[in-house]
Amino acid sequence: MAKVKGNLGNDFCPQSLFLYGTKKDDESPDFGLFCWFSYATIEINKELRMGVMACIGEEKLTKDLIRKNGVFSANLVTEKLLPLADYYGCTSGRDNPDKMKYCPTIEGGQVLDVPTIAESPVSFELRVVKEIHAAEGSDIFLCEICNVMIEEKLKDKSLSFMERLKLAAPVITAGETTHTSLDGRELGRWSQPMKSLES
């Protein structure tokens, strides 16, 4: 099939959603929703390790707290968590001091002093090793993965990896500001799922 010129943008680059957890000055948690999250090989004490890269645009509370604390958690968003995740993605922590009025079950990290989400099946504990200033308001954080907590059933090797991935039921954003399930169901446009929290 012939190709035609496309628009500049990141449609057709499916990304899993993660909630980044940080601690505020009073030790209470803040969560923000992020999708520009992927893997990168990093070097720690001259050893090559698998790390992550997290691109954070614009100044926001999550970025303030990551810079201040040097650590944060990244919690995989599931279909069940989507209304809360969507709310965290559409509500500024800087402008809404009561943002955390809707709150999941918080568990402290096992290795780092970070809030993690019990209802999320996969939680990373991350330590920033380098911040790269990419452009005005756009910064990339390269991080060491210090710990990963994963639901036991997702480690059950009697199931194929795809079966386990389906059990996790991650939400992706594939394009056009829409939340999507792994098997292609539309789960609402950004800022829609959060409406169910108010009812």
Task: Give me the residues that bind ligand FMN (CB under 6 A), please.
Answer: 17, 30, 32-36, 55-57, 60-62, 89-94, 173, 190
Q: Which residues contact 151 (CB under 8 A, 6 or more apart)?
A: 121, 122, 168
Compute the least distance from the CB of residue 153 to ligand FMN, in Å.
Answer: 26
CA distance 70 to 15: 24
Interior angle at CA 181, CA 179 and CA 186, nearest 5: 55
Compute the least distance from the CB of residue 171 to ligand FMN, in Å.
Answer: 8
Which 8-state DSSP code applies to residue 68?
H
Of the pair 110, 196, the CB lying nearest ligand FMN is at: 196
Compute the least distance from the CB of residue 110 to ligand FMN, in Å.
Answer: 23
Our measurement of the distance from residue 96's CA atom to the centroid of its chain's CA atoms, rounded to an integer in Å, reads 20
Asked if 138 and 57 count as a contact pair (C-beta separation under 8 A), the reply is yes
Of the pair 78, 91, the CB lying nearest ligand FMN is at: 91
- Please measure the distance between the N-terminal and C-terminal CA atoms of the chain and give it in whole angstroms: 47
Of the pair 28, 92, the CB lying nearest ligand FMN is at: 92
SS3 call for 84? helix
Compute the least distance from the CB of residue 46 to ligand FMN, in Å.
Answer: 30
Of the pair 62, 73, the CB lying nearest ligand FMN is at: 62
Of the pair 116, 173, the CB lying nearest ligand FMN is at: 173
Compute the least distance from the CB of residue 57 to ligand FMN, in Å.
Answer: 4
Asked if 24 and 103 count as a contact pair (C-beta separation under 8 A), the reply is no
